[in-house]
Structure 1
Amino acid sequence: MIELDSTDHLILRELIEDATQSASKIGRKLNLSQPATWRRIKRLQETGVIKGQRLDLDREKLGFGVTVFLGIKLATKGRVSLDDFERAVAAIPEVQTVEHILGVYDYRLRVVARDISDFERVLRRRIMMMPGVGDVEANVLLSEERRPGPIG
């Protein structure tokens, strides 16, 4: 684990808010020079604290108005390779995330669809047809609030 000081935490908060900000803009906000800010950001990237930058798309504006979280319990553990299941489900374009979890279900999927009938099509024709799928629980996302995470 890398030691982060308060300045590193402030830089991370700025990048979480807007990852497109330049080092000079962040530096001005934090009373740091551009080179000092850039070196700190580079160190955070090189040590793996910053793993990358992601584009945050508005799914509704792209026509995907429904998000559903699926809990999936595999029916035949041992007969279906977890890697094979993960590869197969990740190949479904509507599946945004695949999380192997501990609990009642083996996997949690985040699935986007144009509407409920489109989700039903994906569920019936793609997900339920996969070998090894047993119990499935669906939870429709009503609203979402983004939180920055455990940055001290």
Structure 2
Amino acid sequence: MSFQPDEIDFAILRALSKDATISAGALGRRLDLSQPATWRRIRRLEQEGIIAGRRVALDAEALGFGVTVFLGIKLATKGRVSLDDFERAIAAIPEVQSVQHVLGLYDYRVRVVARDIADFERVLRRRMMSLPGVGNIEANVLLSEEQLPGPLQ
């Protein structure tokens, strides 16, 4: 039978999703668990694949990247260009933060950061539009973003 997280596991997941750097001891004190018991639960959640990793969240604006743009990219002809070739080429662009292969009007959804609009235009013209197989690109500039806790509230 497969592993089913309990309420304590969900409390651990909620806490780690807010602060992945919290120690097992500090987390255990919050949940009235010992440090070893908390650590074992975290380790089990990792082994079961529920915790897929821990990441550092960087503030792009604080690093000088004040513009975020979401691109919808439609490939011209899927048969002539390998999706793998396109994905390798777009992943090599430093300003690209994420690439999602999607179903719908566009083939890919891409998150790009740039220093300003002029910098984004440079990235778009020199890098994005020259990618193998690109047919159509739609850009949406991010105005604001709110991080939501997701389904674990």
Structure 2 residue identity aligned to 1:52: G
Within-5 A mapping of 1:29-108: 29-108=30-109
For structure 1, list consecutive stretches of 5 or more residues without a partner in the other structure: none
Is the 2:74–2:135 contact (alpha carbons within 8 Å) kept by the matching residues of 1?
Answer: yes
Is the 2:68–2:113 contact (alpha carbons within 8 Å) kept by the matching residues of 1?
Answer: yes
In the TM superposition, residue 13 of structure 1 has moved relative to its aligned partner by: 0.6
Q: Which residue is 2:25 aligned to?
A: 24
Structure 1 residues 142 and 2: alpha-carbon distance in aligned structure 2, compared to 1, 3 A threshold: farther
Aligned partners of 1:96 and 1:2: how far apart in 2?
A: 33
Structure 2 residue identity aligned to 1:30: L
Q: Which residue is 1:124 aligned to?
A: 125
How much identity, in percent, do the aligned residues show? 71
Count of residue pairs the alignment pairs up: 152
In the TM superposition, residue 118 of structure 1 has moved relative to its aligned partner by: 0.2
- Normalised by the size of structure 1, how large is the TM-score? 0.97
In the TM superposition, residue 148 of structure 1 has moved relative to its aligned partner by: 2.2
In the TM superposition, residue 58 of structure 1 has moved relative to its aligned partner by: 1.1
Within-5 A mapping of 1:2-17: 2-17=3-18
SS in 1 for 2:53: coil
Aligned partners of 1:76 and 1:102: how far apart in 2?
A: 15
Structure 1 residue identity aligned to 2:85: D
Aligned partners of 2:130 and 2:75: how far apart in 1?
A: 12
Aligned partners of 2:91 and 2:45: how far apart in 1?
A: 29
Is the 2:85–2:132 contact (alpha carbons within 8 Å) kept by the matching residues of 1?
Answer: no
- Give CA-to-partner distance per residue, 1:67-98, whole Å, 9 cap, x none: 00000000011111111100100000000000
Q: What's the C-alpha RMSD, in Å, of the aligned pairs? A: 1.0
Aligned partners of 1:65 and 1:51: how far apart in 2?
A: 29
For structure 2, list consecutive stretches of 5 or more residues without a partner in the other structure: none
SS in 2 for 1:71: strand
- Give CA-to-partner distance per residue, 1:15-69, whole Å, 9 cap, x none: 0111100001001101111111000000011111111111111111110000000
Aligned partners of 2:147 and 2:120: how far apart in 1?
A: 24
SS in 2 for 1:150: helix
Q: Which runs of 4+ in 1 moved over 2 A?
A: none
